[in-house]
A and B are shown apart, each in its own frame.
Chain A
Amino acid sequence: MDIFKFYDTFVRFINTNDFCWQKHKIKISFEYPLIMFKIVNKEFFSENVVKLEIHAPRIAKARRAGHFVILKIGDKGERFPLTIAGADREKGTITLVVQKVGVSSRKLSALEVGDSITDLVGPLGQATHIQHKGTILACGGGVGVAPLLPIVEAYKKAGNRVITVIAARSKDLIILEDQIRSFSDELIVMTDDGSHGQKGLVTEGMEAAIAKEKIDEAIIIGPAVMMKFAALTTKKHNIPTMASLNTIMVDGTGMCGACRITVAGKTKFVCVDGPEFDAHEVDFDEMLLRLNGYKEIEKAAESNYLKTNNDSCQIPS
């Protein structure tokens, strides 16, 4: 094959002397045809929240509600996790929703239809244990509503009555409202500033739902601090609750323990044991602490990225 001939010439070229690559530390890397994870659709929910539909037929086929993927953008990119928000087996695509919070999420958000994601691996983690339980209280905060959607859908299809509470800081951060509504028997929308739905925190919406009827089980997905208080709310009412945790990850396959947390006094790896755990047993304070482990480096990297990349609003007018 020509490709190999080229490679041989290349190797000879850099090796005119014995061991010269050791002296000059030349890295040999050679790109063979890769499986590309092409972006087939892109939609802005708001200035900072983007929905991407990505060609990944194997993951689309294998994934279940609750699974996540690990992505890497570019050669020097970092590996980071995102929960799968949906999939289309026929089209062979999965849906991810990403909020711009740092370098990698900005790099991902900047990709256009037709671009490819360098590395995408999954589905990872344990799928949500969906059963017929009775009445389910599903709570999502911010972009946590995206991974909540397939779980709400699965619970509904398993014959449960589903009451969903979605919450965000303001109206423009409420996402997927109609889709969530289509699988929910009841939907409560909460915003911090009252710009949409009711004014108040997610916990207030939860209290309202719990006051009205008996809840058999709850599931919560969102920022760690939201999950902490949502868990305290259901604990008060003795409602079994699962939380889908979003910790720092590197490999996502159980290899490193970066994602470890304490559940019922024991160390667990979120990537292989989770991401869902009994919310009443999770040490959320420790989790919040560990999430901030690289905060300063992340902030510096982001401002550096923004300096060199024009990341102004990209919503098509």
Chain B
Amino acid sequence: MEEINYLKAERSQAWREDLRKKIKNKDRTGLRRVKMNEVDARERITSYVEVNSGLTKEQAQIEASRCIDCPNPTCITGCPVEINIPKFIKRIEQGDFLEAAKVLKETSTLPAVCGRVCPQEKQCEANCFYTLKLKKDPVAIGYLERFAADYEQASGEISIPEINEKNGIKVGCIGSGPAGLTFAGEMAKMGYEVTVFEALHEIGGVLKYGIPEFRLPNHIVDVEIDALKRMGVQFETNFIVGKTAAIEDLKEEGFKAFFAGSGAGLPRFMGIPGENYLGILSSNEYLTRINLMQAAEHDSDTPVVSGKNVMVIGGGNTAMDSVRTAKRLGAKRAMIVYRRSMDEMPARIEEIEHAKEEGIEFMTLANPIEYFADKNGRVNQVKIQKMELGEPDASGRRRPVPIEGSEEIIEAETVVVSVGVSPNPIVPDSLPDLETTKWGTIVVNPHSLQSSIPEMFAGGDIVRGGATVILAMGDGRRAAQAMHKYLKNNKA
């Protein structure tokens, strides 16, 4: 209720009212949704250039004017971090782009990242008035978010949110992925001394090792991380909590509470014959070599092998990232093999479209059942079995059923297995009292994200299994608020 009154008060500010009066709603809703500027498919597969090149100022302002500034903005409820969407969009319409970016930062730690990788079609944009009531294309909230964040980054006038006076309380954050970074930002704003512990040599988690440059350039992530550093967040790379030091050691060093955002980084394999032949690797390994270790660059010491025929098993965003990376590494034939049909594919529609434009082949209703290798043990052929869709399973999706006698052999010298990930066990293993599920995820109170160990909070993929960047960020934000409450009560 308080929230709604607050939104109403903001909406009735003079500048918002003026903007609303300027253009009639009929004219606003008559405009067509903007199309994102893109690099041509033939050109972009020769490099790692970002595919989406962003909106121009003019495009952004016209798109912003489509938003009718609803009295009851339903879009906000679709956003896991509850960005004040109409407010930032109206700032764009007004032409005050830096102010728009500030609005984003009120609740979102990584707007330039979210504007790129969020599945907006399932979140804010699914709840837009245009989608719900007008049955028209929603306002391009994601594009506008990205525009405002990029504009701010490029202006060099990067704002830092207001920070409360330091309270001298030390808290630790395990993992520097989207959940951890958001948590760290929120706690820093509330005046805590936050240290983020990261196992790898770079900050960012999946944003760095997983999502490729052509979808999320690393320098975009680095600028957001620098903003956190300027807010006083400390980062310790090459530090594995539970290995380099135990939670107990850190408590002795004065840490009062912890947030585990250590993710779901363990790749699953299928356990089919020949899966350990050379040339068969997990999408995590493939993408880590390319994105984190820059294996494709000539001066990098990390090698990567990528054949002329590359097969990627799976239909999620990671599979799309892998197959599109293979194309950029020079694959003649880059294929997706997915056991369900196109409709069930969990990857974002935009990514599937981009992949198609780039010449990726889709083999749906197919599943590998065996690998064959040459005399050196390097994979050269994959036996594929065709599938048909049967009855819906527990997840509500129709279960793929193998068709007997439908096997065929396909040539492939590189196979990337992208069939899912499991939670990282290092933190749970180091804490015997921590309650976990049989899948290895940490059990938390769904509201406070507090685990069975009171001073340990958790969020993101370590709680959810493999989920999305924005859900992880939402968790980071909620955990920060809950931890703040917990620490306040405990001191009293």
Contacts and interface: CB of A to CB of B under 8 A. Distances in A.
Contacts of B281: 256-258
Contacts of B282: 256-257
Given A28-B223, A122-B244, A294-B305, A267 B299 contact: no
B305 A289 contact: no
A236 interface: no
A8 B156 contact: yes
A92 to B, nearest CB: 13
B201 interface: yes
A74 B293 CA distance: 12
Given A250-B288, A254-B265, A19 B293 contact: no
B276 A262 contact: yes
A21 interface: yes
Contact of B284 (A26, A30, A257): A257
Contact of B285 (A72, A258, A289): A258
B239 interface: yes
A18 B98 CA distance: 13
B106 interface: no
A41 to B, nearest CB: 21
Chain B: number of interface residues, binned into ranges: 35 or more
Contact of A11 (B156, B235, B288, B303): B156
Contacts of A258: 281, 285
B96 to A, nearest CB: 15
Interface size class of A (residues with CB under 8 A): 35 or more
Contact of B293 (A78, A103, A107, A261): A78
Interface in A257-288: 257-258, 260-262, 267, 269, 272, 286
B218 A27 contact: yes
Given A250-B293, A256-B285, A297 B303 contact: yes
Contact of B269 (A124, A254, A260): A260
Contact of A254 (B229, B305, B425): B425
Given A19-B154, A255-B267, A257-B285, A35 B238 contact: yes
A21 B53 CA distance: 12
Interface in B192-251: 199-201, 209, 217-219, 222-223, 226, 229-230, 235-240, 243-246
Interface in A40-83: 58-59, 61-62, 72, 74, 76-79
A245 to B, nearest CB: 14
Contact of A121 (B151, B229, B239, B300): B239
A51 B190 CA distance: 48
A289 B237 CA distance: 33
A15 B223 CA distance: 13
A301 interface: yes
Contacts of B7: none
A78 B156 contact: no
Nearest to B57: A18
B276 A267 contact: yes
B202 to A, nearest CB: 9
A4 interface: yes
A301 B276 contact: no
A226 to B, nearest CB: 20
A316 interface: no
Given A11-B156, A21-B219, A27-B219, A253 B305 contact: no
Given A78-B300, A286-B276, A253 B240 contact: yes
Contacts, number: 163
A122 B265 CA distance: 18
A33 to B, nearest CB: 10
A217 interface: no
Contacts of B158: 8, 11
B301 interface: yes
B285 A12 contact: no
User: Would you call the interface of chain A mostly helix, strand, loop, or mixed?
Assistant: mixed
A272 B425 contact: yes
A25 B230 CA distance: 24
A253 B151 CA distance: 37
A293 B305 CA distance: 9
Nearest to A1: B230
A317 B269 CA distance: 52
A250 B222 contact: no
A120 interface: yes
B156 A103 contact: no
A123 B156 contact: no
Interface in A280-317: 286, 289-290, 292-294, 297-298, 301
Nearest to B150: A19
Interface in B372-399: 376-378
A265 B293 CA distance: 31
Contacts of B285: 250, 256-258
Nearest to B97: A18
Nearest to A120: B238
A164 interface: no
Contacts of A298: 303
A122 B426 CA distance: 12
B156 A79 contact: no
A27 B213 CA distance: 11
B278 interface: yes
A204 interface: no
A52 to B, nearest CB: 17
Interface of A: 4, 7-8, 11-12, 15, 18-22, 25-30, 32, 34-35, 58-59, 61-62, 72, 74, 76-79, 103-104, 107, 118-124, 250-251, 253-258, 260-262, 267, 269, 272, 286, 289-290, 292-294, 297-298, 301
13 contacts: A19-B54, A22-B50, A27-B222, A29-B219, A30-B226, A32-B235, A62-B245, A124-B240, A250-B285, A253-B265, A254-B424, A258-B285, A297-B303
Given A62-B246, A267-B275, 11 more contacts: A4-B230, A18-B57, A21-B154, A29-B219, A34-B237, A119-B238, A251-B200, A258-B285, A260-B269, A290-B377, A293-B278
Interface of B: 49-50, 53-54, 57, 150-151, 154-156, 158, 199-201, 209, 217-219, 222-223, 226, 229-230, 235-240, 243-246, 265-267, 269, 271, 275-276, 278-279, 281-282, 284-285, 288-289, 293-294, 297, 299-303, 305, 376-378, 424-426
What are the 3 tightest A-B residue pairs by CB atom distance, in nearest-first order? Answer: A256-B285, A12-B156, A78-B301
